Amino acid sequence: MAIPEDEIDLEDRVPGNVARIYRRLAVDRRQGTRTAPSFDDAVALHRVLAAIEHAAHEGRRVVVDAPNRVLPPL
């Protein structure tokens, strides 16, 4: 995967959220950090979405254990 140069404005080419994730991935690759959302973050989000669907189907609240990970600023 080519890492975009800092001068390239991804906001013009890619929807905002995707551009921000690409930017985090690029910084992580350069600096050896882990600020971009991980597979574990995706699994937690999937659990929240599944709980929402389950709650809607059952017509009741469903408790889900999915802690919110705050991403550090770039």
Domain residue ranges of the chain, discontinuous segments joined by +: 1-36, 37-69
Q: What is the pTM of this model?
A: 0.60
pLDDT for the residue numbered 14: 61
d(CA 11, CA 52): 31
**Both structure tokens of 64:** 């889900």
Question: Sign of the CA dihedral 4, 10, 29, 41?
Answer: negative
Output the pLDDT for position 56: 93
In the chain, the percentage of residues whose pLDDT exceeds 90 is: 27
What pLDDT, in 10s, does the model give residues 7-43? 556 556 667 788 888 888 999 999 999 999 889 888 8
Which residues, at least 6 apart from 21, have a Cβ–Cβ distance to it below 8 Å?
36, 37
